[in-house]
Structure 1
Amino acid sequence: METTKTINSPFDEQTLQYFKELLLEKRREAEQQEAQVEENISNLNEADDADQSSIAHHMGDFGSDTEEKQLNYQFLERTRKYINQINDALQRIEDGTYGICKATGNPIAKGRLESVPHTRYSIEAKEQGLDHE
Structure 2
Amino acid sequence: MLKKVELDEFKKLLQVLRARLRGDVLHLTADALDRNENGSESKSPTHLAELGTETYEQEFTLRRVENEQGVLEEIEEAFERIKDETYGVCAGCTEAGRAPAKSMIPKTRLREIPYARNCVECERKRELNR
Where structure 1 has 5 or more consecutive residues not aligned to the other structure, the ranges are 1-9
| Residue among 8, 28, 41 paired with 1:17 | 8
* Larger Rg over CA atoms: 1
Where structure 2 has 5 or more consecutive residues not aligned to the other structure, the ranges are 95-102
Match of 1:66 in 2: 55
The two structures have a TM-score, normalised by structure 1, of: 0.81
| Residue among 47, 67, 80 paired with 2:69 | 80
The two structures have a TM-score, normalised by structure 2, of: 0.83
Match of 2:116 in 1: 119
Query: Is the partner of 2:44 in helix, strand or coil?
Result: helix
Deviation of the 1:126 alpha carbon: 2.4
Change (3 A) 1:62 1:29: same
| Residue among 41, 44, 52 paired with 1:46 | 41
Query: Is the partner of 1:104 in helix, strand or coil?
Result: helix
Deviation of the 1:58 alpha carbon: 1.1
| Residue among 78, 88, 104 paired with 1:99 | 88
Q: Assess if the C-alpha contact under 8 Å between 2:33 and 2:58 holds in 1.
A: no
Question: Number of residues paired by the alignment?
Answer: 117
Identity %, equivalent residues: 24
Q: Assess if the C-alpha contact under 8 Å between 2:88 and 2:105 holds in 1.
A: yes
Superposition RMSD on alpha carbons, in Å?
1.8
Deviation of the 1:24 alpha carbon: 0.5
